[in-house]
Every structure is written in structure tokens, then in C-alpha cells.
């Protein structure tokens, strides 16, 4: 019985010591800032947008920015959006939680909404809460998915996004 108790205590100690270890992300080489180009479906571009995303520091995580362009045009009617924002990545080794927000300048018409307030150029706000998987410390494919609501003083559009792109 003593051997079983000692084996159990030893096992608990090993599990606790393993869970206490933490993987640390090494800083990027000075020439890299985890720049990405991706196509986003949904999100701040409403239907789709093409975006550039980068970090302000020389790591894969932390404070960054995003700028993009998107829109839709059919039968002489459509809209365009230019989303700009800040984001922050929390996580390590290529798996991150992304949170942020910004503004998107858009020009809408009747094809998008019958609301007369939307049938003109307008700046709207957007937030992002997403999971991001990207190549860690090298070039490769990135994937994003999350919740990205769009809002102004007159409306709120809950939206989701899915994005795929490339880190260079």
C-alpha cells in the first residue's frame, strides 16, 4: 500500500512539474515582423476583403495593424470598404488569439441596404475576436476565424470572418 501511495504522489509531482514548464517564444530575427497578406471572407469587408497585416515589433505576437480593401459590384450597383485597424496577438508558437478594432470607410448604395443613412459614404467601426494559426518564425500559410461585429451610431451587424493567406 505504501508503494502505491508513493507512486501516486510521484505521478502527481511529475504532472505538476510538467504543467509548470512554459514554452517561450524567441524574438524574431531583426528582418522579420510577421507580415501577412490574406483574403478575408466576412469581417470588416462585409463580404470579402484583401488585407495586409504586420506587427510593430520584431516578434510573431503583440501589437500590430491591418489595412485592406474589399467590396462587391453587380448589375451597376455595389459597395466598397477600406478597413484599417489595430490588433493584438496573445499566444505562442504560431497559435494566437487576436483581438482588436478599427474603422472602415465604405460607400454603399441601394443594392446593399434600403436604409437612406447607409446609401452614402460612411465610416463604421469594427471589432475582431479571432483565432489565428500562422507559420512560426518562417514563411507559410496563415488561417484566421472569428467574430467581427460591424457597428455605427445607427446599426450593429454581428459578423463572422474566415481568412486564409500567406506570411512572408
| 115 CB burial (10 A radius; 0-12, 13-18, 19+) | exposed
**Stretch 49-70: mean pLDDT:** 92
Q: How many Å apart are CA 65 and CA 43, to the nearest integer?
A: 15
- Statement: residue 22 has pLDDT above 50: no
Give the pLDDT confidence score for residue 119 in this predicted structure. Answer: 60
What's the grid cell of residue 64? 500590430
Burial class (CB in 10 A: 0-12, 13-18, 19+), 162: middle
Architecture of the domain spanning 33-167: Beta Barrel (2.40)
Reduced 3-state DSSP string for 23-48: CCCCCCCCCCCCCEEEEEEEHHHCCE
Residue 80 has pLDDT above 70, yes or no: yes
pLDDT at position 32 is: 61
The span from the CA of 19 to the CA of 157, in Å, is 41
CB contact at 8 A, 161 and 148: yes
DSSP-H helix ranges across the chain: 2-20
Cell triple for residue 91? 499566444
User: Predicted confidence band at 30 (pLDDT cuts at 50, 70, 90)?
Assistant: very low
Q: Is the pLDDT of residue 104 over 60?
A: yes
pLDDT at 31 over 80: no
Cell of 119: 446609401
Q: What's the mean pLDDT in 139-165?
A: 92
More confident: 59 or 120: 59
* Of 121 and 124, the one with more pLDDT: 124
Better-predicted residue by pLDDT, 120 or 162: 162
pLDDT higher than threshold 60 for residue 77: yes
Amino acid at each position: 500500500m505504501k508503494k502505491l501511495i508513493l507512486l501516486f504522489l510521484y505521478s502527481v509531482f511529475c504532472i505538476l512539474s510538467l504543467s509548470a514548464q512554459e514554452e517561450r517564444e524567441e524574438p524574431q530575427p531583426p528582418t522579420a515582423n510577421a507580415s501577412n497578406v490574406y483574403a478575408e471572407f466576412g469581417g470588416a469587408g462585409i463580404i470579402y476583403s484583401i488585407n495586409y497585416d504586420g506587427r510593430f515589433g520584431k516578434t510573431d505576437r503583440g501589437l500590430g495593424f491591418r489595412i485592406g480593401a474589399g467590396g462587391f459590384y453587380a448589375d451597376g450597383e455595389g459597395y466598397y470598404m477600406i478597413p484599417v485597424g489595430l490588433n493584438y496577438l496573445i499566444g505562442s508558437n504560431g497559435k494566437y488569439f487576436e483581438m482588436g478594432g478599427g474603422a472602415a470607410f465604405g460607400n454603399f448604395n441601394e443594392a446593399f441596404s434600403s436604409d437612406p443613412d447607409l446609401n452614402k459614404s460612411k465610416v463604421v467601426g469594427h471589432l475582431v475576436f479571432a483565432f489565428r494559426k500562422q507559420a512560426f518564425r518562417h514563411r507559410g500559410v496563415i488561417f484566421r476565424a472569428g467574430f467581427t461585429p460591424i457597428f455605427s451610431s445607427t446599426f450593429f451587424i454581428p459578423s463572422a470572418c474566415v481568412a486564409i493567406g500567406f506570411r512572408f
